[in-house]
Amino acid sequence: MQKKINWLKGYVICRLSGKHIELFINQAIKEELNIWDVKMINDGSAIFSISLKDFFSLKQILKKTFTRIHIIKKIGLPFLMTKGLRRKGVLIGFILFLLIIYLFSSMIWTIEIEGNKTIKDEEIYQAINEIGIHRGMLKIKLPDKKVIQEQLQNKLEDTSWIGVKLKGTLLQITVIEKVKPDPKPLVGPRNIISTKNAVIYKILAETGLPQVKVNDRVKKGDILISGYIGEEEDKKVVAAEGEVLGIVWYQSRIIIPVKQKWRELTGNVFKRKYIMIGNRMIKIKGFGEIPYERYQQRYILKQLTFKNYKLPVGFIEENLLEYEERERFLSDTLAYKISMEQTKRDLYSKIKSDSKILSEKVLLKKKENGKFTLKVLFEVLEDITTTQPIILQPIDQGE
């Protein structure tokens, strides 16, 4: 904090020479002058920093101690302002630049729509234009958010809620559409059949006639719930509905190499830095050849902003991380763990997300010729249903 205060008030770095340097410093401290960073130099002189205000109080002390000073560097806001006044053209140009940026940041340059699914973007943009909002308008002329919401909802009847958010020069419109109930599809007569060989675990027929019971074995294509109901003389066809869960068995066989390779970072980093202006990148650091044979690239973007407005200027840091290729041989325990995880991934790719693994049994586990083999039998509880349309035969009317 003190460093910032010193910069705002201004200070100078001086070289002190003469017969009685220590006496000078003691006298300055005695008179409570703001000096700091005092360093003695081998040639018998000293360097110190002093506030701009106290610098002009040194004349009497210099005379008393037979010393003299030479200003090395002037630092702080007062000197910058003095320099700026000498360069009026640059100062005026800088002020105009800031005014232009401020003006641009006071306008809406982007209107973003999100959340809409069935309502077209063009329809929403048209409604926004009709209520007087457009790109390039001043933000102070923007109506109140509640007014915008009400006006847009009046024009867009299929919306249940509209959110309005202003982020810098971006106006974000969030649309939530009215939920329309899906019309229930017309379903023709059908059976429910099995998709897999299984053992019935649960059957619940809402419509139709069950053809199997719990613990029955079924094959793929067997009818589980029939769409035919009633006696032979009064038989009807319906769209069978219901739930049937079955126990299904899956085998998964995985072979992995015992010798594994991986990359290990060494901790060495070669950095390159760029200035980004629009789509152009100008390198400012990290010239020369890359000192590593193997490396990974990572980028860090620091884009300059002004009042939440992203300027087309920034810095990019490219880090090249050196790595070495390592090898290891898996133990039996680790090889088994990795193989079991892979067998389960293989299983999950074949079953539905709501299926449940009831048990797993290892059928084969061996290591030979630099490879580890694992074969597992999984017992899974899952929905085994699909539908089969019933094709009705036309009635022969005779002649």
398 occurs within a structural domain: no
Looking at the structure, do residues 145 and 63 belong to the same domain, yes or no? no
Looking at the structure, do residues 8 and 69 belong to the same domain, yes or no? yes
93 occurs within a structural domain: no
98 occurs within a structural domain: no
300 occurs within a structural domain: yes
State which residues form the domain around 55.
2-80
How confident is the prediction along the chain (399 residues), in pLDDT tens digits per residue?
677 788 888 899 999 888 788 888 888 888 888 888 888 888 788 899 998 888 888 888 888 888 888 889 888 877 777 776 666 666 677 677 778 877 778 888 888 999 888 888 999 999 999 999 988 888 888 888 889 989 998 988 888 898 999 888 889 999 998 887 776 677 789 999 999 999 999 999 999 999 999 999 999 999 999 999 988 778 899 999 999 999 999 999 999 999 988 889 999 999 999 988 877 888 888 888 999 999 999 999 888 877 667 777 888 999 999 999 998 899 999 999 999 999 999 999 999 999 999 999 999 999 999 999 999 999 999 999 999 999 876 655 544
Looking at the structure, do residues 6 and 72 belong to the same domain, yes or no? yes
Count up the domains in the chain and report the number: 4
In order of 228, 230, 231, the CA distances from 234 in angstroms are 10, 6, 5
d(CA 322, CA 295): 4
Looking at the structure, do residues 244 and 300 belong to the same domain, yes or no? no
Domain boundary among 155, 177, 199: 177
167 occurs within a structural domain: yes
Looking at the structure, do residues 244 and 341 belong to the same domain, yes or no? yes
- Coil, strand, or helix at residue 289? coil
Instruction: Find the DSSP H helices in 247-399.
Output: 332-348
Looking at the structure, do residues 237 and 366 belong to the same domain, yes or no? yes
d(CA 249, CA 267): 48
Closest CA to 320 of 288, 292, 300: 292
34 occurs within a structural domain: yes
**Region at 89 (left for phi over 0; alpha for psi -120 to 50; beta for the rest):** alpha
In order of 5, 44, 108, 293, 317, the CA distances from 63 in angstroms are 30, 19, 64, 65, 53
Domain boundary among 63, 80, 97: 80
Looking at the structure, do residues 285 and 318 belong to the same domain, yes or no? yes
Q: Which residues contact 120 (CB under 8 A, 6 or more apart)?
A: none
DSSP string, 112-171: EEES-SSS-HHHHHHHHHHTT--TT-BGGGSPPHHHHHHHHHHH-TTEEEEEEEEETTEE
Looking at the structure, do residues 23 and 56 belong to the same domain, yes or no? yes
Looking at the structure, do residues 247 and 339 belong to the same domain, yes or no? yes
Q: For residue 279, which amino acid is it?
A: N
Looking at the structure, do residues 350 and 222 belong to the same domain, yes or no? yes
Closest CA to 27 of 66, 65, 53, 59: 65
Looking at the structure, do residues 169 and 155 belong to the same domain, yes or no? yes
156 occurs within a structural domain: yes
Looking at the structure, do residues 320 and 291 belong to the same domain, yes or no? yes
Laid out side by side, the sheet with 280-285 consists of 280-285, 259-277, 309-329, 295-306
97 occurs within a structural domain: no
Phi, psi dihedrals of residue 172, rounded to the nearest 5°: -105, 125
